Structure 1
Amino acid sequence: MKNFKKQSLGRISLSILLFSTMFSLHAQNQVIPLWNKIPDEIKSVDYKEKETIKDGIVQSTSQVSIPTLSIFIPKETKPNQTAVIICPGGGYSHLAFEKEGTKVAEWFNSIGIAAFVLKYRMPTDLTMKNKNVGPLQDAQEAIRYVRQNATKWNIDPSKIGILGFSAGGHLASTASTHFDDKVYESTYKVSARPDFSLLIYPVISMENNITHKGSQTNLLGNNPSEELINSFSNEKKVTSQTPPTFLVHATDDTAVIPENSINYYLALKKNGVTTELHLYEKGGHGFGLGVKDTSKFWTKDCIEWLKANGYN
């Protein structure tokens, strides 16, 4: 009987330990739905999210219709109170969720910065009334959500930035230039303006001679009007209120040509906005945190820029 009690107590203790461990891990990487009610939603039974999973980790995902935030909070007792919302790329057709999302969040945590990976909706007429603004609605709501709940994670509400890779860079630059656009009714009274932007080999323009055609078609449709192209060519929307921006591109990028970053940089400079542009000789497109050649070290340059501007 005593042995039975000991074994039972042992099992209970082990269960409590496992639950505590799971709760601790969950607290470090919680995934939450972005919306209680998705704005302008159209229900479509034929449009279901498709994940590519390797070794239990989501590598990429497509046909996203239910946006989420994956929350990564630094484990240090004294984080620097900065937060970054991460927008993975994928041409507005899929999201490179690990390479340009969770891995990047873990890197930010390693330097004391809270990170929130945004799984934003893919623009399509099947699930939204206006696909042009669907991703922007998600980005604005993510910024507002983090700012509204900043004290919960020991975040300074004036140190919330946005980062985007490739088409995610277009979304991040859209959030940085269209933050006053009222594209939905928010329950939050806080600003949707990011405090800074980190744009990595970003699509910036929707102009035919410079844009990434796949991103343009997916976001704006096959034959967008000149007005629509101008509205989402973010180099044309820069003002003195656009957030300070750090830009990275490779000269040999043929998928999203470096003129996207160059023109945005020139617009920021013209408007007196704090900005820094790194044009690396080699690196191509889609190098994530850095793979080879000179682009491998962009993260070091980013850390120095964050320090210089009081964000790290």
Structure 2
Amino acid sequence: MHAERSSEPIVEWLASAGVAASVFRYPVLTRHPAPLLAIREAIRETRSTGVETVGVMGFSAGGHAAGLAAYAPDGERDEVPDFVALAYPPVSMELGTHGASRVNLLGEDADPALRAATSLDRLVAPEAPPTFLWHTGGDTVVPVEHAYLLASALARAGVPHETHIFERGNHALSLARDAGTASAWTALCLSWLQSHGWAP
């Protein structure tokens, strides 16, 4: 399903900060590589309108889809985002945790090679785009170990990245308003965007 709280409200927040954004509803309940191909096509179409810098932001399973668009090795230059921001994504398709994402994307009996080929931490290369990542230690749906796997992979590859782990907070916080320290993620993300020249 698409989470409405992680679509238009996010666009409104970015617009209020002077960042042009739109919602892309990638196909759900479809097998890999359909979501990846759809996101790549959307990035190509956006670039074809004259937009020079394209970033992708995704939440939960959408974070995994956005991460695939950023890190999958066979993307053409015009279909890979310039930066990516990921919120509490299921990173590994090899872990036993959050198996629902794996089953929806890969099926019940996905072989080890396919699971590895769709695990974000396995795909990170030095040329991967700069990444902003946040998660909460209290997430019981997608445990925080997923974020640590990706952050470690980014560090090993030397990819510019910023990672924030907040002690408390459930899954699917979206803008995380009134969610304790996790509510700081929007200001931190905006500051990161500004530091790279992607936000005014």
Q: Which residue of 2 aligns with 1:3?
A: none
Q: Which has the higher helix share?
A: 2
Partners of 2:139 and 2:46 in 1: CA distance: 33
Name stretches of at least 5 consecutive residues in structure 1 with no aligned partner.
Answer: 1-93, 125-130, 183-189
The match for 2:91 is 204
Aligned with 1:217 (options 103, 111, 116): 103
Aligned partners of 1:206 and 1:276: how far apart in 2? Answer: 22
Match of 1:117 among 23, 39, 43: 23
Structure 2: which 5+ residue stretches go unaligned? none
More RCO (CA 8 Å, sep 6+): 2
Conserved in 2, the CA contact under 8 Å of 1:123 and 1:132? Answer: no
CA offsets per residue over residues 101-136 of structure 1, 9 Å max, x none? 011011111111111211111233xxxxxx211101
Aligned to 1:53: none
How many equivalent residue pairs?
Answer: 198
Distance 1:180 1:289 in 2: 32
Note the C-alpha offset of 1:179. Answer: 5.8
1:124-173 deviations in whole A, cap 9, x for unaligned? Answer: 3xxxxxx21110111101111111113xxxx4x1x210000000000000
Runs of 4+ in 1 over 6 A off after TM superposition: none
Normalising by structure 1, we get a TM-score of 0.61
- Identical aligned residues as a percent: 37
1:237 aligns with 2:119: no
Three-state SS of the structure 1 residue aligned to 2:24 is strand
CA distances 1:268-308 after superposition (whole Å, capped 9, x unpaired): 11111100100001111110011311111210011111111
1:53-80 CA deviation, whole Å, 9 max, x = no partner?
xxxxxxxxxxxxxxxxxxxxxxxxxxxx
Aligned to 1:176: 70
* Structure 2 counterpart of 1:175, one-letter code: A
Deviations 1:181-227 (A, max 9, x none): 48xxxxxxx611100010011111101334x2111110000111001
TM-score, scaled relative to structure 2: 0.95
* Residue number in structure 2 paired with 1:43: none
Q: What is the aligned-residue RMSD (CA, Å)?
A: 1.3
For 1:205 and 1:148, the matched residues in 2 are separated by 32
> Which residue of the partner structure matches residue 2 of structure 2?
95
More strand by share: 1
Matched, 1:193 2:99: no
